[in-house]
Amino acid sequence: MLRRETLPRVLLLLAALVFFSANTVYFFEDGGQEILASVDTSCHFDFDNVRDKGPYLNVKSAILVNYENGEVVYTKNPEKTRPVASLTKLVSAMVILDHGVDLNQTEKITKEDARRSSRSRLRVGFEMSLIDLMHSSLMCSDNRATRALARATCGSIEEFTREMNAKVKSLGLDNTIFYEPTGLDERNVSTAHEIAKILHYAYDYDLIREITSKRYHRAKIVNRKNSFRQMGNTNRLIYSPYKVLGGKTGYIIEADYCLATLLQNKEGEMLTLVVLGAPGDKIRFKEARKLANWGFRQV
């Protein structure tokens, strides 16, 4: 029999057990700063009913999933590890939002941000709010914006990348690894299967859904009088008959052209679509649309 004075202690332990069983994980920065990251690892896909026959796709790997029930409808080399280019930025955005940083604060684009950053409309010295940098990172795939966000979040690219890898590990994604937050490094790799899961987890973030489903956004350069940058979404399926609920494009030479997107048809059915390694920009969207057209006839 429990003594009365020990009962509160037992109840406290039981409460702690329930709390941690709810898929909540704490990460600690050096120096003891506590960061709370809610981790729901319940995303599991059912491969039992993959269709025997599907469309031929001119891509290296692909997967199509019924978002509502997790049933995998189509696969092509879904477990093959490949460079994923700027699909990386979906995880970068999750890490930023996990930190709860004030997105109204501002950050300047530095020379280091601009070094080997690929094309960008953001000049060195531009000061922008973090929310506008998030739009630039996710909609335009801007690498300078992503680096500035990483610095503002963790103080360094190295620490930010460490947290990206901790994030995917906590989600059970064993074949995904990052060496930096933009996707420019070809060593940033994953699989079509795990990218689809990353997209599902990213879709749980209201802001990622909002930004990646927009067609346009107008960003302000706060230290330039009356200076703005108009941004357009690089996911061209946003102009298809389907509603884009979220997603990300990616390209580097080693990865070819990539796309991860969540689509909804007029009946409200939702499909998660990932294509990796398309040999051209237009081919990426042509093959993705072909897969979506076929997929919505299967669900």
Listed by start position, the domains of the chain span: 61-296
Average pLDDT over residues 63-91: 98
Q: How far apart are CA 49 and CA 64, in angstroms?
A: 12
Per-residue confidence (pLDDT) for residue 41, from 0 to 100:
66
Average pLDDT over residues 24-46: 50
Of the candidates 60, 61, 76, 86, the residue annotated as catalytic is 86
Q: Where are the alpha helices (DSSP H) in the chain?
A: 7-20, 88-99, 111-114, 130-139, 143-154, 157-170, 192-203, 206-212, 281-296
pLDDT in tens, 135-166: 999 999 999 999 999 999 999 999 999 999 99
Average pLDDT over residues 38-53: 83
Per-residue confidence (pLDDT) for residue 203, from 0 to 100:
97
Looking at the predicted structure, is the pLDDT value of residue 4 above 50? Answer: no
pLDDT in tens, 157-216: 999 999 999 999 999 999 999 999 999 999 999 999 999 999 999 999 999 999 999 999
Looking at the predicted structure, is the pLDDT value of residue 25 above 70? Answer: no
**Phi, then psi, of 100 in degrees rounded to 5:** 65, 35
Say which residue the tokens 């909540």 belong to: 24
Per-residue confidence (pLDDT) for residue 70, from 0 to 100:
96
Sign of CA dihedral 79, 81, 84, 90: positive
pLDDT bracket for residue 8 (50, 70, 90): very low
Lowest-confidence region among 14-18, 117-121, 186-190, 224-228: 14-18
Of the candidates 92, 141, 190, 213, the residue annotated as catalytic is 141
Q: Say how many C-beta atoms besides its own lie within 10 A of residue 211's C-beta.
A: 21
Q: How far apart are CA 94 and CA 207, in angstroms?
A: 10
- Global pTM reads 0.86
Average pLDDT over residues 90-99: 98
Per CATH, domain 61-296 is 3.40.50.2000 = no
Q: Which residues pair with 215 in a beta bridge?
A: none
- For this structure, is 89 an active site residue? yes
Per-residue confidence (pLDDT) for residue 34, from 0 to 100:
36
Looking at the predicted structure, is the pLDDT value of residue 29 above 60? Answer: no
Looking at the predicted structure, is the pLDDT value of residue 267 above 50? Answer: yes
Burial of residue 283, with CB atoms counted within 10 A of its CB: 0-12 exposed, 13-18 middle, 19 or more buried = middle
DSSP 260: E
Average pLDDT over residues 6-32: 37
Of the candidates 89, 167, 197, 248, the residue annotated as catalytic is 89
